Structure 1
Amino acid sequence: MLVKNKTNHVFLFLEIFRQEGGVQSYVKDILGAYLQLEDIYQADVFLLRDSPNCDNPFASERLKFHYFQSNSPTTGRVKLALSLLWFLWKKRPEHVFCGHIKLAVLTKTLCELLGIPYTVLTYGKEVWEVLKSQERQALASSSSIWTISRYSRDCACAANGIDPNKVKMLPCAIDGNKFTPGLKSPELMTKYGLNNAKVLVTVTRLWSGDIYKGVDITIRALPQILKVFADVKYLVIGRGDDQPRLAKLAQDLGVSDRVIFAGFVPTEELIFHYRLADAYIMPSQEGFGIVYLEAMACGIPVLSGDNDGSADPLQDGKLGWRVPHRDADAVAAACIEILQGDDQRCHGTWLREQAIAAFGIETFPLRLQEILLCSSSITKS
């Protein structure tokens, strides 16, 4: 009788649990899908910025976690490097999956020293421009590169001389059972002052380094939208140091009474906030944009930028509006079209069906297994 050998992997990430965001959500989907694969797959997960006190639903016999959060970033990196070196030397895993370009040079150094193949995971802007020489070498020396969208693949390859055939696609996925259509919550409508209003929603972090998310452009579009829909309001969900600037912009434009900053909303409450929307608006530059899938799964029409990875979830405009991401006039015109509701892309049931058919979470484990098989072989004896 044939006995399947265990397939030992190592995953290396900056963080998963300390902060919430699109990348963290994506990584959690990878780990969840990994646990759905055959039990021959087992991995150790090294986390630079997370601590053992985090709420980790993935820890198990097949996924063992190692934490290196430290008050000193340098100390944390040194401890991670030494622990990883010892682990790789002692265990000799079949393959290492480096979860961020910022960890790629370390991964290359250790893996090449010990003759272990490795893969680098990429997402968006962090690889769209020309990288440092050592980071480019780490990508070139990897056995493969994963990314989440055609746009991220094309940008990374063009900027850093990468062979596109080396890049494997593992797009984001949406759980259609978690994000579903539903009535607007009367309690939340009252809480945010949205009764009798047409509601635009954005879910994003409000960091001063992330103005590309387009919240300021949507605020600039509001005066034009209000000329057609006098009852429109804009609900911004998220937190960050850029909120004071955005609030002042709304005040300067005379629309401060139309912009509501909801602050941080826990993941489990997001669905009820998506359902408040008549349109999800984020004219951004995303590596993919999981939020668009979340909104569409709730039956909400969406608007994105037209020069980024959102082309994939919006299926090149088939499922939503794509506009120049720093053009307030274009955002205003598209928002008016969406709120008028005459386009098929506003039909919630159809929109949800299309989004889930292309990116449903049910197919994610199969995609992961295929890409793992491309990166490392499973031996049998």
Structure 2
Amino acid sequence: MNIHLWLPHLFSFNGGIQTYSAFLFQALQNLYPESRYEVFIKHEVETLPSINYLPQTRFHFAGGSPLKFRTPLFAAQLIGHGLIKKPDLVLATHLNFAVACLILKRLLGVPYWVVAHGIEAWNIKNKAVKTALMEADLILAVSSYTSDRLLKEQNLDPKKVTLLPNTFDAHRFQPAPKPPYLLAKHNLKPTQPIILTVGRLSAGEQYKGYDRVLKAIPQIRQLLGDIHYVIVGEGSDRPRIEQLIAQLQLQDCVTLAGFVPDEQLCDYYNLCDVFAMPSKGEGFGIVYLEALACGKAVLAGNQDGAIDALCHGKLGALVNPDDVEAIAQTLTKILLKQYPNSLIYQPDELRNLAIDTFGFKQFQSTLARHFPTL
């Protein structure tokens, strides 16, 4: 097969779509090493050694073009190469690329698959994108929640929408003792109960729920006086969060760790006793899997793709993300080891179940089952 992959990022940015794209790329090359791959990346300019690839793979970068012109130039690049090479399949990991897919299909009959992650797949108003989704040969949704919303809102053929859930690197994320260097850096004690959230502090992503965890901290402190909350991530919402911390007088028990290098992320998961992100807008949430892989108890919202990530509560605690009291009570029970799901206190078992359900081997196997539809 001659496969064209259209990606926003692959090498240089570690957001959820980039991480998913990297695993998808790896799985394809493992499954079909004799295929020819042309990889088009919108926001990058070169390959990096962080991603392995087959020698016959060719990369095309659009990241060097001015940002305000990049979208039309990238679309022209995708369609132009498609017309010349006529791929057997185009696989796009962002729904916004579907319009270019449709143009290529109408001109040459090239089939295309697109991946639906989260907020970009909900409440779609752009008519061209809606049409492109209707005519896609397959839509890979990362969760049942994303799939259900797409089907409900876009009136798609259910046979064209299938699941390929997120996966994670089980070798990179493993249980370990609380890292002494992080305890020292943040002036924390080894026995101190620590809550962690990992996510961009973007003004457009306030749905992640870190502000509601902050509002729950005063209630948690009534029983756990030395509780500490660590938020990993940077972004435009930080000033609002700093103001909220000051209003709640939590300066002594909240740490905004800011940007954390990839090589330290696993250490931060192992620093905490419970990972909490009571979101209400996640398409899936790979951070939940990373925390589970480190054997951590996880609290998430019960209104989005986190339901899939926690297997409807089997792998963690699901709460109403708008109910601060429920968040406080549940986190308190977890930290006091009073939560009724005993699995969350068995790190090795929790990790193994996460691997069995969402590990890369399962991801690759699920992807392979879709290819006979070509």
Shorter-normalised TM range: over 0.9
User: Would you say 1:292 and 2:288 are equivalent positions?
Assistant: yes
Could you list the per-position Cα deviations for residues 137-190 of structure 1 after superposition, in whole angstroms to 9, with x for gaps in the alignment?
A: 000011111111000000011111112221021111133222111111111111
Q: Distance in 1 between matches of 2:285 and 2:79?
A: 34
User: Would you say 1:329 and 2:315 are equivalent positions?
Assistant: no
List structure 1 runs of 4+ shifted beyond 4 angstroms: 53-56
Instruction: Return 187-196 or 245-254, whichever deviates more.
Output: 187-196
Residue 324 and residue 85 in structure 1: after superposition, are their counterparts in 2 closer, same or farther (change >3 A)? same
User: Would you say 1:355 and 2:354 are equivalent positions?
Assistant: yes
Instruction: Return 282-291 or 349-358, whichever deviates more.
Output: 349-358
Aligned partners of 1:180 and 1:271 also within 8 Å: yes
Aligned partners of 2:278 and 2:301 also within 8 Å: yes
Q: Distance in 2 between matches of 1:129 and 1:77?
A: 21
User: Would you say 1:128 and 2:122 are equivalent positions?
Assistant: yes
Q: Distance in 2 between matches of 1:328 and 1:31?
A: 40
Q: Structure 1 residue 20: deviation in Å?
A: 1.7
Residue 372 and residue 131 in structure 1: after superposition, are their counterparts in 2 closer, same or farther (change >3 A)? farther
Aligned partners of 1:170 and 1:371 also within 8 Å: no
**Residue in structure 1 matching 2:176, options 167, 178, 182:** 182
The letter for the 2-side match of 1:367 is T
Could you list the per-position Cα deviations for residues 235-289 of structure 1 after superposition, in whole angstroms to 9, with x for gaps in the alignment?
A: 1011111111101101100112111011111222211110001000000131111
Query: Which residue in 2 is equivalent to 1:151?
Result: 145
Aligned partners of 1:301 and 1:320 also within 8 Å: yes
Q: Distance in 2 between matches of 1:264 and 1:28?
A: 21
Q: Distance in 2 between matches of 1:62 and 1:156?
A: 36
Q: Distance in 2 between matches of 1:104 and 1:261?
A: 38
Q: Distance in 2 between matches of 1:146 and 1:63?
A: 23
* TM-score normalized with structure 2 length: 0.94
Instruction: Return 41-50 or 227-236, whichever deviates more.
Output: 41-50
The letter for the 2-side match of 1:204 is G
User: Would you say 1:223 and 2:218 are equivalent positions?
Assistant: yes
Pairs within 5 Å for 1:1-381: 7-52=1-46, 57-70=51-64, 72-195=66-189, 196-284=191-279, 285-342=281-338, 343=340, 344=342, 345-374=344-373, 376=374
Could you list the per-position Cα deviations for residues 21-64 of structure 1 after superposition, in whole angstroms to 9, with x for gaps in the alignment?
A: 12211111111212211322231111111112655523432432
Stretches of structure 2 that go unaligned for 5 or more consecutive residues are none
Instruction: Return 313-322 or 29-38, whichever deviates more.
Output: 29-38
Could you list the per-position Cα deviations for residues 113-160 of structure 1 after superposition, in whole angstroms to 9, with x for gaps in the alignment?
A: 121111111101111214321111000011111111000000011111
Instruction: Return 270-279 or 27-36, whichever deviates more.
Output: 27-36
Aligned partners of 2:196 and 2:274 also within 8 Å: yes
Instruction: Return 52-61 or 102-111, whichever deviates more.
Output: 52-61
Instruction: Return 123-132 or 246-255, whichever deviates more.
Output: 123-132
More contact order relative to length (CA 8 Å, sep ≥ 6): 1
Could you list the per-position Cα deviations for residues 98-117 of structure 1 after superposition, in whole angstroms to 9, with x for gaps in the alignment?
A: 22121111221122112111
Q: Structure 1 residue 83: deviation in Å?
A: 2.4
The residue matched to 2:174 in structure 1 has which SS? coil
The letter for the 2-side match of 1:347 is Q
Q: Distance in 2 between matches of 1:313 and 1:12?
A: 26
* TM-score normalized with structure 1 length: 0.93
Aligned partners of 1:131 and 1:160 also within 8 Å: no
Aligned partners of 2:274 and 2:298 also within 8 Å: yes
Q: Distance in 2 between matches of 1:130 and 1:237?
A: 30
Query: Which residue in 2 is equivalent to 1:3?
Result: none
Aligned partners of 1:180 and 1:299 also within 8 Å: yes
Instruction: Return 280-289 or 50-59, whichever deviates more.
Output: 50-59
Q: Structure 1 residue 360: deviation in Å?
A: 1.5
Q: Distance in 1 between matches of 2:130 and 2:9?
A: 22
Residue 194 and residue 301 in structure 1: after superposition, are their counterparts in 2 closer, same or farther (change >3 A)? same
Residue 89 and residue 130 in structure 1: after superposition, are their counterparts in 2 closer, same or farther (change >3 A)? closer
Query: Which residue in 2 is equivalent to 1:4?
Result: none
Residue 38 and residue 99 in structure 1: after superposition, are their counterparts in 2 closer, same or farther (change >3 A)? closer
> What is the identity percentage for the equivalent residue pairs of Structure 1 and Structure 2?
34
The letter for the 1-side match of 2:59 is F
Q: Structure 1 residue 85: deviation in Å?
A: 2.5
The residue matched to 1:52 in structure 2 has which SS? coil
Q: Distance in 2 between matches of 1:175 and 1:15?
A: 18
Q: Structure 1 residue 72: deviation in Å?
A: 2.5
The residue matched to 2:218 in structure 1 has which SS? helix
Alignment RMSD:
1.6
